Amino acid sequence: MIDKDYMSISENKALKENVFIMIVCIENQIPLFIVGKPGSSKSLAKTMVRDAMKGKSSKSELFKKMKETYMLSFQCSRHSTPESIEDVFMDCADIQIRDAARKPFVSVVVLDEIGLAEDSEKMPLKSDPTDFFKNLSLNEESQTGCAKKSQVKEKLPTTDIQVFESALRAQHNPQDAESRYILVLAESLSVLDFVIDTLEETNKEKPKTIFGSGFKDDLAYTTVCHNVGKIQKCMSVGQTVILLNLDELYESLYDALNLYFTSEKRVVDIGLGSQRLQTKIHPKFRMVVIANKDKVYDEFPLPLINRLEKHYISSTSLLTARQMEVREKLSKWINDFVMPAEGLR
């Protein structure tokens, strides 16, 4: 089933198992859970199966004998509600009833990153356990070395500032190689000026900076969609974007963070829930997420962390040698002032 769009993909064991079990379950309409860390070919397998199973229009003679497949994706997040998930199943059922009467056809609901919905206060995944587990499950932790949560979030060493600057300039990868977008774990926002100056010097254009907050209006669904629209615009024109305190929308960017494009058009799905838009990503587009290091360790979802290139910048990382010398003198003076010599007590 491998066509020219996938010739550069290694057909490893995880990918083969994912593709095989998806095809079997789709053909027989069996619910399926695939469990595995980022990089275990879950999304890739879904894309390959979607592109292959086109019924009579399939490129492969094998798949021409199988059902035509329509996948309706739903991006799970902390915004997910029982009603939104139920609606996507109802839409999928309507499509099935409409098209199955005239051709071999199956519509499929794809719940992307279903674990993220567990953070929703609406408890959208609550169901009768006896119904929930009437499915086939493929757990890839053993074959991909999936680490435990505590292992993945182990503390990072401080990144050398020259290495960090090289990452911002996308100079640490071979020519034309795709660089992952950057997650900066910072102790304060003092790193922001350095990031902006470096990116502006590299791209000869000031990056777009988008701030969020914990205020109620900034957490509203309409505000999240508005910010997603700003990011989409930057993606299409190739403008670098810096994101701060936008925890509510990171889930909508997962498809873009995968950095895998099945064609030269570089198109990805962006959106929340079932509201998705295809967005073309300009080759020059770059994304930098800046977040407090403690918040990353304690609150960021692992699927998000593992999709980004991580750099920890301490409060002293950006100081020059002269500034470090002054800092040490000030620190010594403060200690002497607070804790006077023993003979003066």
Tens digit of pLDDT for each residue in 179-212? Answer: 889 999 998 888 999 999 999 998 889 999 999 8
Reply yes or no on whether the pLDDT at 138 is more than 70: no
| Predicted pLDDT at 130 | 41
Instruction: Tell the burial category of 131 from Cβ atoms under 10 Å away from its Cβ (0-12, 13-18, 19+).
Output: exposed
Please state, in angstroms and rounded to a whole number, the distance separating the CA atoms of residues 65 and 63.
5
Share of the chain above pLDDT 90, in %: 29
Does an H or E element contain 15, and which? helix 13-28
Give the CA count within 13 Å in the CB-facing half-sphere of 183: 24
Going by C-alpha positions, the residue among 228, 185, 234 that lies closest to residue 206 is: 234
Please state, in angstroms and rounded to a whole number, the distance separating the CA atoms of residues 36 and 134.
20
Tokens 């791209």 correspond to what residue? 203
| Predicted pLDDT at 209 | 96
Map out the domains of the chain with their CATH numbers.
7-146 (3.40.50), 151-313 (3.40.50.300)
Cβ proximity of 280 and 265 under 8 Å: yes
**What's the whole-model pTM score?**
0.73
Reply yes or no on whether the pLDDT at 153 is more than 70: no
